[in-house]
Structure 1
């Protein structure tokens, strides 16, 4: 019962933070991009980070709610996914010096998400 309540609280908080992020992202793109360069434009374009900060807060709260076993598993998955992401992005840095196209920093976030999904799925499969 406790695990379901914790999972539901995490889901509701995360979806709320994601909604805030999406609304601020669309507003920043719509209103920030056409603004003249300067500190105000920079501030407007960075406002989606408020939603991102809420997502970090949600994750930290989730870590505090889950039991020790789940916490260790989650943090191990994050550590391995981070190592994979570091290896791939570091390698690609060398490829850029060899003439490969420069990638946006957003690609690192996508790589981290893909690594986290792969590690989580692999560990779930390996534990069977």
Structure 2
């Protein structure tokens, strides 16, 4: 029962942070895109970082709430997905030198999230 309660609390906090991020992102793009280059534009376009910080805060709180086994499994999944992401992005850097198109840094987090999800699914299916 305790796991369900903390799980629901985590989802509320995380999806709340993602919602705030989405609102701030929409507002920053709407209001910041037409401003001239300068510190005001930079600050407005950086406002969505608040939502990212709230998501990090939710994740840290969840890691503190769960037991040691869940922490260990989560850490292993994150480490594997970080290694996958690092190897893919590093390898693609060589492909860019060979003439492949440059890829934005905005690709890194979705790639890490996808590799994290894939890692969790593979480990759950294989029970490892």
1:25 counterpart residue number: 25
Task: Output the TM-score relative to the length of structure 2.
Answer: 0.98
Q: For residues 86-125 of structure 1, what are the alpha-carbon distances to aligned partners after superposition, in whole Å with 9 as ceiling and x for unaligned? A: 0000000000000000001011111101100110000000
Task: After superposition, give the CA deviation of every residue in 1:24-45 in whole Å (9 maximum; x if it has no partner).
Answer: 0000010001111100100000
State the distance in 2 between where 1:22 and 1:108 align: 18
Which residue pairs with 1:45 in the alignment?
A: 45
Determine if the alignment matches structure 1 residue 14 to structure 2 residue 14. Answer: yes
Following TM superposition, the consecutive aligned residue runs of length 4 or more in structure 1 with deviations greater than 4 angstroms are none
Which residues in structure 2 correspond to 1:92-107 (within 5 Å)? 92-107=92-107
2:111 alignment partner, SS class: helix
SS in 2 for 1:44: helix
2:72 maps to 1:72: yes
What is the rounded CA distance, in whole Å, between the counterparts of 1:37 and 1:106 in structure 2? 21
Q: Which runs of 5+ in 2 are unaligned?
A: none
1:124 & 1:9 partners in 2: Cα distance? 23
TM-score w.r.t. length of structure 1:
0.98
1: distance between equivalents of 2:5 and 2:50?
26
Tell me the number of residue pairs that the alignment of Structure 1 and Structure 2 aligns: 128
Q: What runs of 5+ residues in structure 1 fail to find an aligned partner? A: none
